[in-house]
Amino acid sequence: MIEVDRQFAEGTSDAVVIDNRTAAYNTTKHLVELGHRRIALFIDETAWTTGRDRHAGYAAALAEAGIEHDSGLVIPTGWDVGAARATARDLLRTSARPTAIFAANNVLAEGAWRAARDLALTVPTDLSLVSFDDAPWMSMVTPGITAVAQDAFALGTASIAALLQRIAEPGGEPRTVVLPATLTQRGSTAPPPVAFPAPTAG
């Protein structure tokens, strides 16, 4: 058995995963370098290796920049577009709203994007948005959504190679193969606004 993308039996089974921590660190650092200090992380969960490592990368980039980790900006929103949209609307209506949202998967990114439209907030002038996971719609909207792209073909190829190696060497120690992910920059990130415009719709 080879675990692919995320691990439930970490250390006891072979696995092929994305370097979620480094990708999340680089994504958060990109926002920090633009000048953002209030960066919300919309995340599905932190019990599995995917969510745990994405949160760790986010926290590491903030710490490196000397930005206090605000637990109120780490928003658990599950895997539902509607729930993420409602949560984002509530957050973006506050006077201390974030200037950027880092969505830990493409479903949460869609929810945040729809919430910004509901409130007549312009991406990226009023709100920067980045996503972990690229999805076709992200290159179809204007501006396009900056996203971490995972190579599904490479995951599949490495997984079959790991399985064949395990068949050939059934007694070896469990191995984890970690593949890189790349940040595809489009138009959804910019320096934060000087003043927060009040949302007018929704």
Domains and CATH numbers, the chain: 21-150 (3.40.50.2300)
Q: What are phi and psi of 11, to 5 degrees?
A: 85, -10
What is the distance between the alpha carbons of residues 43 and 165, in angstroms, rounded to a whole number? 34
The per-residue pLDDT for range 173-195, each reduced to its tens digit, is 999 999 999 999 999 999 999 76
Q: What are phi and psi of 20, to 5 degrees?
A: -65, -40
**Could you give the percent of the chain with pLDDT greater than 90?**
86
The per-residue pLDDT for range 105-160, each reduced to its tens digit, is 999 999 999 999 999 999 999 999 999 999 999 999 999 999 999 999 999 999 99
Res 77: pLDDT:
86
pLDDT grade for 196, boundaries at 50, 70 and 90: low
Place of tokens 């949460």: 108
- Residues near 148 by Cβ (< 8 Å), separated by ≥ 6? 23, 24, 27, 130, 131, 132, 133, 134, 181, 182, 183, 184
Q: What are phi and psi of 128, to 5 degrees?
A: -85, 145
Q: What are phi and psi of 24, to 5 degrees?
A: -70, -40
Is pTM, for the whole model, over 0.75?
Answer: yes
The per-residue pLDDT for range 46-84, each reduced to its tens digit, is 888 999 999 999 999 999 999 999 999 999 987 889 999
Q: How many CB atoms lie within 10 A of CB 38?
A: 15
Residue 167: which H helix or E strand, with range? helix 152-168
